[in-house]
Amino acid sequence: MRLHLVEIHDLASCPPSLRDALTDFLAFTEKVAGAYDPVGPLLRQAVERTKARRIVDLCSGAGGPWARLGAQVPVPVLFTDLYPHGENVIPADARAVPEGLDGFRTIFTAFHHFRPAEARAILADAVHRGQGIGVFEIARRAPLEIAVVALTWLGTLVSVPFIRPWRWSRLVWTYLPPVLPLVGTFDGVVSCLRTYSQAELAELVRGLDTYDWEIGDFRGRWSPLRGSYLIGVPKLS
């Protein structure tokens, strides 16, 4: 059963530097493990089918998997986030995408943040606006995934000095005291418990019949995690 618990970095009171440190490490691990590499061909095919001229990445954090995916999906990517991380990310709420932001929408490692009614509304808005959408998660509500995610965050103690760009605040949150590994472990486990199953994803798109919906799973070559995806594109007339 999905549990909609609260992640610390979702809170408005979470210090921005701690939130940035969390998303930096998440992007770093996704890049190193190539967790989203199998998504590239699926996403490229969907973008080509919709003839989208760009991707509007929602809930971008620190850029997620795009350091590796960019070469596989040859269209520009516009990064957006409710809490922008860096100058190249524009402020936007995935629950209320501004009218001018047309493009194929993607959400990586963040769809679980939304309650079912909000998640359904995000999908329905893409359908209403005629935009393709892809939702991708690398974790599941399964014992193995929960254990791996919990252990991965302990890796901050070793890997943080190698994450670029360098930030003193990230170093402080990791070692003085070790807030980043503790908060990351808590939020990572909660993320798994909040992730939608394939059956739940299918229920979210029930009735959105003007789109073709594809639901499945994937696993990167070097990743121990099996993720899930939901891709929606307008039906061919």
Q: What are the pLDDT digits (tens) for 57-98?
A: 999 986 778 888 888 998 999 999 998 877 789 999 999 999
- Number of residues that make up the chain: 237
Compute the average pLDDT of residues 117-124: 97
The single-letter code of the amino acid at 105 is R
Asked if residue 99 lies in contact with residue 109, where contact means CB atoms within 8 angstroms, the answer is no
Compute the average pLDDT of residues 7-26: 89
Strands 133-137 and 227-234, how do they pair?
A: antiparallel
Q: Using CA atoms in the order 104, 102, 83, 69, what is the torsion angle rounded to 10 degrees?
A: 30
Q: Rg of the chain's alpha carbons, rounded to an integer?
A: 17
Q: What is the pLDDT of residue 172?
A: 85
Which residues, 6+ apart, have CB-to-CB distance to 131 below 8 Å? 50, 52, 56, 102, 103, 104, 105
Bin 51: left if φ > 0, else alpha if -120 < ψ < 50, else beta.
left
The token pair that represents 129 in the structure block: 């606006």
Does the pLDDT value for residue 173 go beyond 80?
Answer: yes
Does the pLDDT value for residue 228 go beyond 80?
Answer: yes
* CA–CA separation, 151 and 154 (whole Å): 5
Compute the average pLDDT of residues 128-146: 92
pLDDT class for 207, splitting at 50, 70, 90?
Answer: very high
* CA–CA separation, 50 and 63 (whole Å): 23
pLDDT class for 151, splitting at 50, 70, 90?
Answer: confident
User: Tokens 């199998």 correspond to what residue?
Assistant: 38
Q: State the pTM of this model.
A: 0.90
Asked if residue 62 lies in contact with residue 23, where contact means CB atoms within 8 angstroms, the answer is yes
Average pLDDT, the chain: 90
Asked if residue 68 lies in contact with residue 36, where contact means CB atoms within 8 angstroms, the answer is yes
pLDDT class for 26, splitting at 50, 70, 90?
Answer: confident
pLDDT in tens, 95-112: 999 988 999 999 999 999
Compute the average pLDDT of residues 209-222: 92
pLDDT class for 54, splitting at 50, 70, 90?
Answer: very high
pLDDT class for 56, splitting at 50, 70, 90?
Answer: very high
Q: What is the pLDDT of residue 190?
A: 94
Q: What is the pLDDT of residue 199?
A: 96
**H helical segments located in the chain:** 16-33, 39-50, 66-69, 116-129, 143-154, 156-159, 168-175, 179-194, 198-204
Q: What is the pLDDT of residue 47?
A: 97
Asked if residue 28 lies in contact with residue 65, where contact means CB atoms within 8 angstroms, the answer is no
Q: Which CATH superfamily is domain 8-234 in?
A: Vaccinia Virus protein VP39 (3.40.50.150)
First CA to last CA across the chain, in angstroms?
38
User: Greater confidence, 202 or 89?
Assistant: 202
Asked if residue 5 lies in contact with residue 194, where contact means CB atoms within 8 angstroms, the answer is yes
Structural domain boundaries in the chain: 8-234
Tell me the C-alpha to C-alpha distance, in Å, between residue 64 and each of 5, 50, 152, 211.
Answer: 22, 23, 16, 26
Does the pLDDT value for residue 196 go beyond 80?
Answer: yes
Burial of 94 (C-beta count, 10 Å sphere; 0-12/13-18/19+):
buried
Q: What is the pLDDT of residue 86?
A: 75
